[in-house]
């Protein structure tokens, strides 16, 4: 027997919710209406390309697509929104950053359109180069855009260094192994909380071809070496003592830690920021070639 929540009863009473909706979940109902909304607005914009409320319509389309998890169309919709915005001294920079740039970057990352987002960011910086608030705008945009430069699934990460123990490490020569690249620091609470899981996964799978490469954002070498020794972290560690200015962290756009990237046997990223059981599961699959 189904019990109707008050909101549902109210909608039925005033005739806004058809009785057939009782067999549908809230998500299914919302998705159906989002699809109808998208179709209707696309028809409206095609018939009225110069509509005064075009910006509002595009904004609604962006929200509807993102609520459904359909991110591929979003960058193009936001490009159209941006073209409608004032670019002079009266430009609404807050709207441009919050309602256009941010969702553009987020949706581009999810839908694998990073190059499009990078070009879009460059265009905005160029368009507002003469604006008195250009330095502040660029700072906000750079913060938002930092994730565009993080390695994504299918990307390769190339670097070589001499580790703390004096051994030469070259990622390009470690093919046919599954490797976790771990950007971390001894002063990072979440990093330390996750480290036991990394150690356990390493010890469990090292004989099967799994390895870890640590990229430490520490500045205190002695404290780092003591932590590594105490926790029996037997994998190579990159350390240059520059903290957040760590050269490899800068190269790969690392803006927060822990940041991890799992490299498959083909040398390409297969997953990132795995935690807990997810790391164990991903390593097992990667070692099996799945």
- DSSP characters over 79-112: HHHHHTS--STT--HHHIIIIIIHHHHHHHHHTT
In a domain, 1, yes or no: no
Q: Tell me the three state secondary structure of residue 194.
A: helix
Query: How many domains does the chain contain in total?
Result: 2
In a domain, 223, yes or no: yes
> Domain check: are 182 and 120 in the same one?
no
CATH number, domain of 129, equals: 1.25.40
> Domain check: are 223 and 253 in the same one?
yes
- What's the DSSP call for residue 51? -
Q: What is the pLDDT of residue 168?
A: 95
> Domain check: are 184 and 68 in the same one?
no
**Residue entry with tokens 């969702």:** 103
User: Are the C-beta atoms of 284 and 205 separated by less than 8 Å?
Assistant: yes
> Domain check: are 11 and 144 in the same one?
yes
> Domain check: are 59 and 88 in the same one?
yes
Listed residues 95, 123, 149: the one ending a domain: 149
Q: What is the mean pLDDT of the chain?
A: 89
Q: What is the pLDDT of residue 111?
A: 86
Q: What is the pLDDT of residue 21?
A: 52
Listed residues 149, 180, 202: the one ending a domain: 149
Residue 148 predicted with pLDDT over 90: no
**What integer is the mean pLDDT of 260-269?**
93
Measured between alpha carbons, how far is 88 from 111 in angstroms, rounded to an integer?
31
In a domain, 154, yes or no: no
Q: What is the pLDDT of residue 4?
A: 47
- What's the DSSP call for residue 14? T
Range of the domain at 202: 160-287
Q: What is the pLDDT of residue 3?
A: 46
In a domain, 243, yes or no: yes
Residue 151 pLDDT grade (very low, low, confident, very high; cuts 50, 70, 90): confident
Residue 108 predicted with pLDDT over 70: yes
Which helix (H) or strand (E) covers residue 278, if one does?
helix 277-287
Residues written for the chain: 290
> Domain check: are 213 and 279 in the same one?
yes
Percent of the chain with pLDDT over 90: 70
Q: Helices 54-67 & 102-110, crossing angle to 10 degrees?
A: 40
Q: Render pLDDT for 156-202 as a digit per residue (tens, 0 to 9).
A: 899 999 999 999 999 999 888 999 999 999 999 999 999 999 999 99
> Domain check: are 53 and 176 in the same one?
no
Q: Render pLDDT for 215-233 as a digit per residue (tens, 0 to 9).
A: 999 999 999 999 999 999 9
Residue 2 pLDDT grade (very low, low, confident, very high; cuts 50, 70, 90): very low
Q: What is the pLDDT of residue 50?
A: 94
CATH number, domain of 239, equals: 3.40.30.10
Residue 16 pLDDT grade (very low, low, confident, very high; cuts 50, 70, 90): low
In a domain, 155, yes or no: no
Measured between alpha carbons, how far is 112 from 236 in angstroms, rounded to an integer?
31
> Domain check: are 178 and 278 in the same one?
yes
**Residue entry with tokens 């430490």:** 216
Task: Please list, in sequence order, all residues whose beta carbon lies within 8 angstroms of the beta carbon of residue 258, skipping any fewer than 6 positions away.
Answer: 182, 183, 184, 188, 190, 191, 194, 273
Query: In sequence order, what E strands does the chain have?
Result: 160-162, 168-170, 178-184, 210-216, 237-239, 259-263, 269-272
Measured between alpha carbons, how far is 236 from 228 in angstroms, rounded to an integer?
10
**What integer is the mean pLDDT of 234-244?**
95
């Amino acid at each position: 027997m189904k019990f109707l929540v008050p909101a549902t009863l109210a909608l039925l009473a005033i005739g806004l919710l058809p009785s057939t909706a009782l067999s549908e979940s809230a998500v299914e109902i919302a998705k159906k209406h989002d699809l109808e909304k998208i179709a209707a607005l696309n028809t409206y914009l095609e018939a009225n390309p110069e509509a005064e409320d075009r910006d509002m319509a595009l904004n609604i389309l962006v929200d509807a697509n993102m609520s459904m998890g359909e991110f591929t169309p979003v960058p193009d919709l936001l490009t159209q929104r941006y073209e409608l915005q004032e670019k002079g001294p009266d430009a609404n920079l807050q709207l441009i950053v919050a309602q256009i740039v941010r969702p553009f970057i987020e949706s581009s990352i999810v839908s694998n359109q990073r190059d499009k987002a990078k070009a879009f960011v460059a265009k905005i910086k160029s368009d507002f180069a003469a604006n008195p608030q250009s330095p502040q705008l660029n700072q906000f945009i750079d913060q938002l855009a930092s994730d565009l430069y993080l390695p994504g699934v299918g990307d390769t990460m190339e670097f070589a260094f001499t580790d703390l123990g004096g051994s030469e490490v070259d990622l390009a020569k470690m093919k046919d192994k599954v490797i976790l690249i771990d950007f971390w620091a001894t002063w990072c609470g979440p990093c330390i909380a996750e480290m036991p899981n990394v150690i356990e996964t390493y010890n469990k799978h090292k004989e099967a071809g799994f390895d870890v490469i640590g990229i430490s954002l520490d500045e205190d070498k002695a404290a780092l070496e003591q932590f590594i020794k105490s926790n029996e972290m037997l994998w190579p560690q990159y350390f240059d003592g520059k903290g957040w200015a760590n050269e490899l962290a800068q190269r790969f756009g690392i803006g927060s830690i822990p940041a991890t990237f799992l490299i498959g046997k083909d040398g390409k990223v297969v997953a990132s920021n795995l935690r807990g059981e997810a790391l164990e599961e991903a390593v097992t699959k990667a070692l099996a070639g799945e």
